[in-house]
Chains A and B, each alone.
Chain A
Amino acid sequence: MKVKPEGLRGAANICSRGGRHPLTAMFGADETSFGGGYAVYCLFENKEKHDIDILKAEFDAGSDLHYPALTPVLPAAAWYERELHDMFGFIPDDHPDLRPLVLHETYPEDFHPLRKCVDIDADVRGERKYEMAVSHGDGLFEVPVGPIHAGIIEPGHFRFSQAGEAILQLDAKLFFTHRGIEKAVEGKTPEEALLIVERICGACSVANTLSYCQALEKLSGQNVPRRAWLIRTIAAELERLYNHIGDTGNMCAGVGFAPVISMGSRLKEILLRCNEAIAGNRFLRGLIVPGGVKYDLTESLCTELTVALTKVENEYNDIVQIIAEQDGFLNRAKTTGIISKNVALDLALVGVGARASGVDCDCRRDLPYGLYAELPFNVITKTDGDVYARLQVRMGEVAESITLIRKALKLLQQDDSQLHCGELAYKTLTGSWGISESARGSNLHWLMLDADGCIERLFIRSASYPNWPALTIAVQGDIIPDFPLINKSFELCYACLDR
């Protein structure tokens, strides 16, 4: 649906159906190079039709890029609109907080890198204002943390406003690892861009590649062979497994529960080695390509994987039992870092973060892709919305993923289709999206190819994007020592978000 800029808020309000259809993504595009103007796209997940509704606001070439902000009616739009403001210079009127998001202090105020008139390697310096949001009042104080942290983790700056021990407010300054990936892929062929897409994030390599490849495959109209989809499914579930199992250990690291940290990291290592056996890379890079997969799963690899899965399953069950018996851990994890269902819906949370707060969503089921429609699995939900609920969702999903991989391995034995559908020809100047469920939630890519078949625009919305703002809400009322635990319970990627 296309609207004029001034009609965007009203139309978006209708598309969201009172919040029932979540705002899945929102991004801009500079379409001046093929006769258009600027555009803002809003993507809503249509829960009834199991599809994505696309709403596009078209701005005339010489327009001042003002439009009524969606944030006052759809809080989930808050960060997207800040990004639109940074990257294109859109001005969402009445936005409650239009501080910079992506571009930090070294950029000039009027620098909008995703405009086509800006060079890809433009090196312009300025002094942008970046103020942290803090609370003021008698006895209140601030605690700054980061961007360089004490552990082996990614960079982000957190500013706590404290009322005694309790966290009153948290502001997160992220996008430190912003590499300009969306600009970097522009003008590249889909194959060249694939290597970069695989490297947006390490822990979501498969999810990002899968979304990207699906968006391309839709443009080609060709079907990916069944065998390729079976292998993709196994890869995607392996990625979920190693993430969830590693995160189970890491959450225990948040409270210093050492034995389980070791157990979790050991199991994760077993899975990473399976990844290397399958794809030649421990993060499964190089396996998934547009049109299929590059490597087959031979019978001996299937056996190897089956043996590893049994070992992982048994030992993970031990971990689950150990945690359930550990009162010290439960005491820290229960009632800590609560996200209520209303907040989860308002912010359009995805993945583990949403499901632990009682939101029943999983794009493998809701927007089925590949072979998930014929591989039934349970969507695990919990209602407490605390750290423990998020851990329990992960524990349930580990079991589901192991079952899914086993089913896919069985189907693989009876299948002798190809690994690749052959040469792909893509439609140009047409928008296309692809989605996949990463370990952290739905991962969406939207892309358009230019007249030469190179990337005109690629928008990457990883699962971490909608979930990051929730973290700042979850910590309110808790204490700083609980922050690492709450942070780990969401386990959001910085690299995926920052791009």
Chain B
Amino acid sequence: MLKLLQGILANKITTEDVTTSGAPRMRGQLTCGTDCNGCAKCAAVCPTGAVALCDGKPVLDYKRCLFCGKCVEACAAGALLHTDIDTLPEILTDVQMTIEREIRAKLGRSLHVRHLDAGSCNACDFEMGALSNPLYDLHRFGIAFVASPRHADMIMVTGVVTRNLAQAVQMTYEAMEEPKLVMACGACAASGGTYGSTYAIVGALDKVLPVDIAVPGCPPRPSAMLIALTAAADLLKKRL
């Protein structure tokens, strides 16, 4: 017991400010330099069709991106590069995203979230679990994970919707009270393209539920999830 108290005193507060950049090797947002010669190799190698060419330059649909780095490797001109910055969530409904500092300044904001695994590989789920660790400490933003959809303002859905889970996904959504939000967390839920189309997969989450926010990443880092959650809290406020 003494050891426990000593440990708590020695570690003090370990909670960090939210930062959207990671290790130098992190495969985050992509940038395309002026050296791009429009060879379209990046679009050709992308396993999920996340890269398209627009006016000879690659344009990314981050919702589909697995951040595998194949496009960067294929870029002969060396123009396409990964940065070490998180990709921001996309608000699919008509509200602009507010930056995190402004959100924190507001009072009385709270968001209760229910996690829903629609067929994920568990990487998104583990990152969601990490949000409750002392470094990210989700609760300081007034956001909490709850045990039932009946207590939730939002469901945070991970994974591509599988045939075996489609009914449970629908029933979970129906169990929530209005107003309710739906977040598609990670490339599988946001685009459904990770494994291609199989007999066992229904598809992306928007095939079965109305999606308000999509968080890119495979999996999204906890910092990206935090930003998405704080944005969702504001979205909810406008719905109330």
Contacts and interface: CB of A to CB of B under 8 A. Distances in A.
Contact of B122 (A263, A276, A315, A493): A493
Interface in A407-461: none
Contacts of B69: 280, 286
B199 A181 contact: no
Which bracket fits the contact residues of B? Answer: 35 or more
A181 B119 CA distance: 12
Interface in B79-111: 82
Interface in A258-280: 259, 262-263, 265-266, 268-269, 272-273, 276-280
B75 interface: no
Contact of B199 (A120, A265, A269, A322): A120
Contacts of B166: 106
A318 B168 contact: no
B200 A280 contact: no
A113 B200 contact: yes
B23 A199 contact: no
A471 interface: no
A76 B23 CA distance: 44
B147 interface: yes
A76 to B, nearest CB: 24
Contact of B7 (A154, A202, A277, A318): A318
Interface in A229-272: 246, 259, 262-263, 265-266, 268-269, 272
Interface string B165-199: 11110001000000000000000000000111111
Most A-side CB within 10 Å, residue of B27, B68, B200: B200
Contacts of A402: none
Given A121-B199, A147-B165, A278-B25, A179 B124 contact: no
A322 B4 contact: yes
Contact of B132 (A178, A181, A265, A280): A265
A205 B218 CA distance: 12
A268 B130 contact: yes
A365 interface: no
Given A147-B168, A269-B133, A283-B123, A113 B199 contact: yes
A283 B130 contact: no
Contact of B200 (A153, A180, A259, A281): A180
A148 B174 CA distance: 13
Interface of B is mostly: loop
B3 interface: yes
B67 A281 contact: yes
Contacts of A321: 3
B163 interface: yes
Interface string A138-171: 0000000001101111110000000000000000
Interface in A300-357: 315, 318, 321-322, 325
A104 B133 CA distance: 35
A195 B47 contact: yes
A196 B198 contact: no
Most B-side CB within 10 Å, residue of A118, A121, A148, A246: A148
A272 B195 contact: no
Contact of A262 (B82, B134, B149, B197): B134
A184 B196 contact: yes
A242 to B, nearest CB: 9
Interface string B40-68: 00000001000000000000000000111
A152 B129 contact: yes
Contact of B124 (A192, A196, A202, A315): A202
Contact of A203 (B119, B123, B128, B145): B123
A88 interface: no
Contacts of B116: 148
B199 A118 contact: yes
A202 B147 contact: no
Given A150-B148, A281-B27, A495 B120 contact: yes
Interface in B1-57: 1, 3-4, 7-8, 11, 14, 22-27, 47
A177 to B, nearest CB: 5
A106 B163 contact: yes
Contacts of B201: 179-180
Nearest to A181: B195
Contacts of B130: 265, 268-269, 272
Given A180-B200, A495-B120, 19 more contacts: A106-B164, A106-B167, A148-B172, A176-B119, A180-B199, A180-B201, A183-B200, A202-B120, A202-B122, A203-B126, A259-B7, A269-B135, A276-B25, A280-B26, A282-B127, A282-B219, A286-B27, A322-B4, A493-B122
20 contacts: A113-B200, A147-B168, A151-B147, A177-B159, A177-B165, A179-B119, A179-B160, A184-B195, A199-B195, A199-B218, A262-B133, A265-B134, A266-B135, A268-B130, A273-B23, A283-B123, A285-B68, A286-B68, A286-B69, A318-B7
